Structure 1
Amino acid sequence: MVVIMLLETSGVVRSLSWHGDALVDVVGGGRRWAADGTEHRAEVSWGSLLDRAVSHRRYAVLYVERGTKAVLVKDGKLLRELNRSYYLAEAYDYPVALGTLPDGLDVIAHCPDRYNVLEIEELESGRRITTGDRDPADVFHSQLQFSPDGRRLLSVGWMWHPVGVAHVFDVERAVVVPAALDGEGLLPLATGRDADIVSACWLDADRLAVAAGDDVWGGEQGAVLGPQQLGIWSFAESAWVHRHSSDRPLGALLGRGNRLVSLSGHPRALSAETGELLVEWPEVRVPERRTSYGRTDEPSPVAALHPDGRRLAVAGAGGIHLLLVP
């Protein structure tokens, strides 16, 4: 268990992202903590309604986690307002992701018109690049993430039972045929049907870590993932290269390379290859929330894993904990 330092904060931290060796809370107006722990004041105020954010390069989207409103900013300045469908918006987290396509175009993925229709737009201009006929499934998209190379888009949402579902879509194909964002996608057909998927994250451009919850949809026999099981899917091999059982709920996941961080109750670092617990920090409390839908009394954890995969920042009641992942 390694704690590098505890950074004191002047108020509640509602978002975290790494900018080099510094940490930034864009929801907090761009508050910044230098490598030595010095806090630099906010440059702007976004009010109290916006409570979470995703960041990418010079851009960020600040949003109401269980609401319909968001804003897109560049270098801390407003570009435009965003919205999502009001239908059951209070029941699941705002679906939004930022990324860069292989041709260098910075884009946003979100659901601006309908809860079950993913759209991809140019960040700078807002021009929609997924215009065409659509045939969406009845899925509430959430936990959107572009793969590091921008070729694939992950959605971990839910559908009525309710049951958690995971899909990965081919972004390059969707630019040509937008309905490619409406089908089963690139994961095995049974994924999200045999198992109740609660979270997932990219380890690299090829591998995806997927966590199942307590329930199995349709019975354990033949399930893609069993209860509280962690699976590592490789697109290059078109196979689950690792599957591990967990002795406790995994919650939200952060990943880099062969390291995974599980955020449920407190942070835990796991080996993606073996599922082995590398280290945990029980004294650093984070919400117990296990999925991005359902309960509304617990917000999502505020944490950021450095691109080096070693430095983990977790916001808590006492400030920002800087932790070292072995």
Structure 2
Amino acid sequence: MPQFREHRIAAQNVKSLCWHDHYLVDWVGGGNIYHLDGSIQERHVNYAYRFDAAIVSPSGDFACIYERLGTKGLLLDHGKILREINRSFYQAHVYEYPVTFIQLADGRELLAHCPEEYRRIDIEDARTGERLTSSTTREPQDMFHSCLACSPSGRWLLSAGWVWAPWDVVALYDIPQALSDPTLLDKYGVAPETSAEVYAAAFSDADTVVLLTSEETNDDDDPLGRAGPHSIAYYDLLTREYRSIAQAEEVVGKLMPVGQDYIVGFYEYPKLFDSATGKVLHRWPDLPTGTQTGSIQWHIDSVPPVAIDLANKRFAVAGADAITVIEIVAD
């Protein structure tokens, strides 16, 4: 079983957390920087709005702060306001704002979000705002896109959203192909067809995505549909096959893959799951992380700031008086 290293940084009123290199930044709180040795660089910026979440681009040059259950976002370039972004009001109070950064092989950074319609993903140049997926032939399907994420390679785009009734679903897109043909963003892309309700997903490496299913299940012909409730599935985007499927013994919630063998689930508090057996191997019950499962969040209490660093196998959780960083080291 992996070992763990813990850091504790005394801090109050932390509003968001993003990793950049080996320190943390609270962009919503004005850009305060928190180092693992406990030192803090304070920046006194007040955005005078209800922003409560943030993401940062792979280079660290850009950040986006937004209202999780609202319609407004703000794009920052090295901490300075670049432009505002918006999404449709329709059901915006119900589910998480869809936005993520993409870094192409040449280093160019893009922004994926839904500025036109809740069901339409568009991709633009982060610096200039040039829309790269404009098309008069686009006819997007009726999906509420949310929880957007880009693979570490910059090739794949994930959307973990929902459709009416509501029912949680995922879509997966080949980014280079979508930039050549934006209509590819109008369906479910290369996501596996399944009768299971997939409420959350995350990339474990450049070409593998981890899918989590709810308690809703069907005895269907597809592997995930017949796997049973609360399943953890590793899906290979190159072979279009499942590498493994196991039932988790508890609700996982928001997740952080740790290679191919483990995942951290953040439902109620962080837990380390064995991906092959679904068993909980370790718990951090003193770090409350909320009860978020899928993209729909209107019915739950606010989620505390959590930052995930996939490459370095670590996560950070902000509490009332401190930020706790957990590093997962080798077995």
Residue 164 of structure 1 corresponds to which residue in structure 2? 168
Residue 227 of structure 1 corresponds to which residue in structure 2? 229
How many corresponding residue pairs?
320
**Aligned partners of 1:255 and 1:309 also within 8 Å:** no
**Aligned partners of 1:107 and 1:122 also within 8 Å:** yes
Residue 25 of structure 2 corresponds to which residue in structure 1? 24
Residue 47 of structure 1 corresponds to which residue in structure 2? 48
Between 1:127-136 and 1:250-259, the stretch displaced more is: 250-259
State the Cα deviation string for residues 275-308 of structure 1 (Å, max 9, x = none): 4434221121110122211534423342223344
Residue 252 of structure 1 corresponds to which residue in structure 2? 254
Between 1:274-283 and 1:98-107, the stretch displaced more is: 274-283
RMSD: 1.8
Between 1:13-22 and 1:206-215, the stretch displaced more is: 13-22
In the superposition, the TM-score normalised over structure 1's length comes to: 0.93
Per-residue deviation, 1:162: 0.5
Residue 320 of structure 2 corresponds to which residue in structure 1? 317
* Distance in structure 2 (CA, Å) of the matches to 1:18 and 1:234: 27
1:97 to 87, 97, 100: 100
* Percentage of pairs with the same residue: 32
Per-residue deviation, 1:116: 0.2
Distance 1:127 1:62, change over 3 A: same
Residue 82 of structure 1 corresponds to which residue in structure 2? 85
* Distance in structure 2 (CA, Å) of the matches to 1:297 and 1:288: 7
Distance 1:222 1:298, change over 3 A: farther
Alignment of 1:238-277 (within 5 A): 238-258=240-260, 259-277=262-280
* Distance in structure 2 (CA, Å) of the matches to 1:308 and 1:182: 30
Between 1:203-212 and 1:298-307, the stretch displaced more is: 298-307
Distance 1:297 1:307, change over 3 A: closer
Per-residue deviation, 1:312: 1.9
**Aligned partners of 1:14 and 1:27 also within 8 Å:** yes
Residue 237 of structure 1 corresponds to which residue in structure 2? 239
Between 1:14-23 and 1:227-236, the stretch displaced more is: 14-23
1:266 match: secondary structure: coil
Distance 1:252 1:156, change over 3 A: same
Per-residue deviation, 1:273: 4.9
Structure 2 residue 144 is the aligned partner of structure 1 residue 140:
yes
**Aligned partners of 1:255 and 1:305 also within 8 Å:** no
- The unaligned stretches of length 5 or more in structure 2 are none
* Distance in structure 2 (CA, Å) of the matches to 1:212 and 1:317: 32
Distance 1:245 1:322, change over 3 A: same
In the superposition, the TM-score normalised over structure 2's length comes to: 0.91
1:215 match: secondary structure: coil
Distance 1:120 1:267, change over 3 A: same
